[in-house]
Structure 1
Amino acid sequence: MNCKTSRLLIFLILFAGTTLQSIAQKTLSSLNQTLRYSRYSRLSLKIIPIKVSETSYKIQLQVEKIEENPDYNSFSFTYSILNSYDEEILSDNTSILTTDDLKYDTDRHWVFEKTIEIPKSTETSIAFFTALDTRQGDEYFYSIDIKSKFVFDQPNFGAYYANNVGFDQNYLNVGESLLFKSYGGPNLHGFYYPISLEVPYPPMETKPSSVPKELQVIDQGDFLELIPKSFDEIGYYFIQSDTTAGAGFVLKTAHEAFPKVKDWDEMVDMVTYISTRKEHEMLLEAEDKKKALDSYWISLTRNADTAKELIREYFRQVEFANLLFTDFKEGWKTDKGMIYIVMGPPQEVNFYLDREVWSYGGTNESSRIRFTFARVKNILSPHYYTLNRSRAYQPVWFKNISIWRSGKMAF
């Protein structure tokens, strides 16, 4: 039995058995996608759609290799095209991906490519990608709306690394380049927004977030596809092939150290989530930020070794938030990033068409804490979410901050 046949047999056994028996009774909205935000994932999945025609889309199904030197034969991959988040996921609407479908195998990625047809009259279509780790049964999921009421349209071009693998990060370090390939002609158009956005209000603050009164936009004009384009300023860029249409590609550019912390000033900004207002104001006003931060961390724990561990853990959370949630804001400044840093990775993650729900703790429904992120239609990003804030979050929020400040938080 060859390797390919063996992998298919493993998958089919699982499909008929416990693993896919449960999937057959499930919908996209009922799947727990917590591994998508886990700090210990072996893989990270991504789907990159490009519109080829009114009814045809090319999708890159990308697997980032987080585990060192992973064995392809330890995993089984499938994809589905669903018409709603409530459609049952069955063998009939699930396709197995094999090595014949593997377009690229690089040091960092396995990449599959598929062309799918979606009738023009279809209002909602979702691409769903799964990876099953056959060693311990872990299942990784990723989904993206190809068409829905939250998507203006898909761009008819894509951004790529130099090796033709689609750009799958949430950010680009300033000074780096990307290659663009278009189905709509050789010219693309860029807009640059030199803006630094504010830190979000805590989850129990119900007043509206502050909004910039003016948003500076710099029209950078046309540039050509198939020629590496460098992004040299910190902020975010919006790329379009047709400036009169709604489809585009948003790119956040960040300093060279991102997603890690750059300097002491940035560290001061980031501790706002676990600081009192007075503490944070003193840090901001301090001339020697390093010395002030050292005193701050020691004052929280009263122990130098505990302080070092607390610093390491807190900024590891910041780094993960930047990796996972950066859009046109740095990940740590988003609502999801804020919750992730203070509360840790959620124990349960459920996606719906109009929202994403994170659940924490509790042995029953009444004791669980849930954070609901409402999906907002936004031309810059089809996956932009804002937290539904409530004063009811205040006890658990302050409790977790107290745990952080005592140096006992660990994920």
Structure 2
Amino acid sequence: MTTRRFKMLDAILFVILLLIGYGCSVKNKFSIINFAHLYNHAEKPLITGLKIFHESDSNSRVYVRYKPSSLHYVLKMGRSYYRADYSISYRLFSSYESAAIVDSSTFKMFDSLYFQNDLSLVYNFPIKTLPDNNYVVEIKFSDSNRGIDSYYSQEINRKDANNSQHFLLVDQQDEVIFEEWVSWKTKFRIITPKTNLTKLFVDYYDDVFPAARTPFSLSHSPVYQLKPKEKYILEINDGITDYLQYGREGFFHFRSDSMTKDGFTIFRFHDDYPEIKESELMPGPMRYITTDPEYAMLAASKEPQTIVEKFWIEVAGNERRGFQLLENYYDLVKDANLFFTSYKEGWKTDRGMIYMIFGAPTEVFKKSEIETWIYGDPQKRTRLHFDFIQNKNPFTTNDFELVRQPDYKNPYFVAVDYLRR
């Protein structure tokens, strides 16, 4: 009798352990995924763009842009060509914190045509989504030949009926535009599944915004009371507009309902964006690494490029190294613009400022409305943590504000001093 009871207890314990193990195995991995590769060009991210488009009341389409040049092509025995084997998988969750998988699938692919080709490819697939629901989709891009998995995430907003995911920008070749900005050369159209929609209300703004405050500044965040410089109506027929092209700088906010702020925004920055090539724009990003007198001199100069070059040559001690430091710094500016553009240029944002001063973070973790960056060796106690909180912004979902602390002052100036060596 005793032996049987112990056997029953063992069986119950075994079942409990199985259930615990199963619960751990299906736990949402968002909380432990390190997304640092998203902000590190040295790691050659496999995916260079993600876009969500709600094409009906029950389906959303995911567009994935990637570069074949980041894949590993292999010449196998008996084969006369190089081939890359890879897959794109997705898992759909109700939030970053949710453990329940709403939907999932894997798409296996191979390529032998684009070996050593630097072009971009786009793959798209539908997922089932319901109105009045929000989701997060986890995308896994797997390079089978290299045995590497890279993870990406994108929030899906179905609760706001007029947000940007109900509209899609395409160029003259009907290629999807993944960025939220266009150049003066870009001709594009706006597509929506709302075929009964006949007009869009457009507000044009030409406001210029300042660079981010230092991470140790405890002054209040600026509050902007924006008023459009111009308002007009854009006609839309059968779910598509005529071709548009914007020469003037500023941003254009589109709404299908004039009584709400919900809509989408197209930004038109300077001509060479995300790069900085115009001499008069060069002093701006220097604000983070210069003293007040140095920056005043740079900003007031009638020959900004010359004086910026002189600054770096004096910092470096010789011309060759000075130009290398200058190039490195403006590469950071370009990357910040690529990664963190919101209602203003990426280098002006809080994340852009931290990225330019401290470089690419060691670890990046995401939760709903918060992104955490960590710098330093996980085995050491001297690590820097930065938390960025997502702001409610009618113009963009990419507006994150740093939680500032006085303790950041010393590491900030140490990093600035390092950049100036």
Q: TM-score range by the shorter chain?
A: 0.7 to 0.9
Partner residue, 2:235? 223
Q: Are 1:259 and 2:274 counterparts?
A: yes
- Where in structure 2 are the equivalents of 1:190-201 lying within 5 Å? 190-201=202-213
Amino acid at match of 2:50: I
Structure 1 residues 327-356: Cα deviation after superposition (integer angstroms, max 9, x where no partner): 221111111111111111111111100200
Change (3 A) 1:227 1:27: same
Q: CA deviation at 1:221?
A: 1.5
Shift >4 Å, 4+ stretches: 22-26, 68-72, 148-155
Specify every segment of 5 or more residues in structure 2 that has no aligned partner in the other structure, as ranges: 1-23, 74-82, 111-117
Q: 1:84 aligns with which of 91, 95, 104?
A: 95
Alpha-carbon spacing, 1:88–1:27, altered in 2? closer, same or farther (3 Å): farther
- Give SS of 2:334's match: helix
Q: Which residue, 248, 268, 273 being the options, matches 1:233? A: 248
The aligned amino acid for 1:209 is: S
Q: CA deviation at 1:76?
A: 1.4
Q: Which shows bigger deviation, 271-280 or 24-33?
A: 24-33
Select 2:283's aligned residue among 268, 271, 291. Answer: 268
Task: Report the AA paired with residue 371 of structure 2.
Answer: E
Say whether 1:379 aligns with 2:394: yes
Number of the residue aligned with 1:43: 46
**Deviation (angstroms), 1:57:** 3.5
Cα separation, 2, equivalents of 1:234 and 1:282: 26
1:165 to 171, 175, 190: 175
3-state SS in 2 of match to 1:394:
helix
Q: 1:178 to 1:152 in 2, by over 3 A?
A: closer
Tell me whether 194-203 or 246-255 shows the greater mean CA deviation.
246-255
Residue type of the partner of 1:264?
S
SS at match of 1:367: coil
- Percentage identity across paired residues of the two chains: 22
Paired residues of 2:59 and 2:129 also in contact (CA < 8 A): yes
Higher relative contact order (CA closer than 8 Å, sequence separation 6+): 1
Q: Please tell me the root mean square deviation across aligned C-alpha atoms, in Å.
A: 2.8
Q: Max radius of gyration: which structure? A: 2
Per the alignment, residue 111 of structure 1 pairs with: 123
Instruction: Give the secondary-structure state (helix, strand or coil) at the position aligned to 2:214.
Output: coil
- Write the distance in 2 (CA, Å) between the matches of 1:153 and 1:171: 16
Work out whether 1:181 is the aligned partner of 2:181: no
SS in 1 for 2:38: helix
Task: Look up the match of 1:319.
Answer: 334
Work out which of the residue numbers 352, 359, 362 in structure 1 matches 2:377: 362
Deviations 1:45-78 (A, max 9, x none): 433223345x424222312327378768432111
State which drifts further: 390-399 or 142-151: 142-151
Instruction: Name the CA shift for 1:151/1:327 in 2 (closer, same or farther; >3 Å).
Output: farther
Determine the structure 2 residue equivalent to 1:243: 258
Residues 212 and 169 (structure 1 numbering): CA distance in 2 closer, same or farther, change over 3 Å? same
Whether the 8 Å CA contact 1:46–1:142 is kept in 2: the answer is no
Give the TM-score normalised by the residue count of structure 1: 0.83
Q: Describe the SS at the equivalent of 2:283.
A: helix
Query: Separation in 2 of the partners of 1:205 and 1:152?
Result: 36
Relative distance call for 1:378 and 1:57 in structure 2 (3 A) is: farther
Q: Is this contact kept in 2: 1:45–1:140, CA < 8 A?
A: no
Distance 1:192 1:162 in 2: 23
Distance in 2 (alpha carbons) for counterparts of 1:352 and 1:242: 31
TM-score w.r.t. length of structure 2: 0.81
The answer to whether 1:206 aligns with 2:208 is no
Deviation of residue 89 (structure 1)? 7.8
Aligned residues: 376
Where in structure 2 are the equivalents of 1:286-325 lying within 5 Å?
Answer: 286-325=301-340
Q: CA deviation at 1:166?
A: 2.2
CA distance 1:151–1:283, change in 2 (3 Å): farther
Helix, strand or coil at the partner of 2:277: coil
Taking the aligned partners of 1:187 and 1:47, their CA distance within structure 2 comes to 27
Superposition deviation, residue 384 in structure 1: 2.0
**Cα separation, 2, equivalents of 1:210 and 1:376:** 13
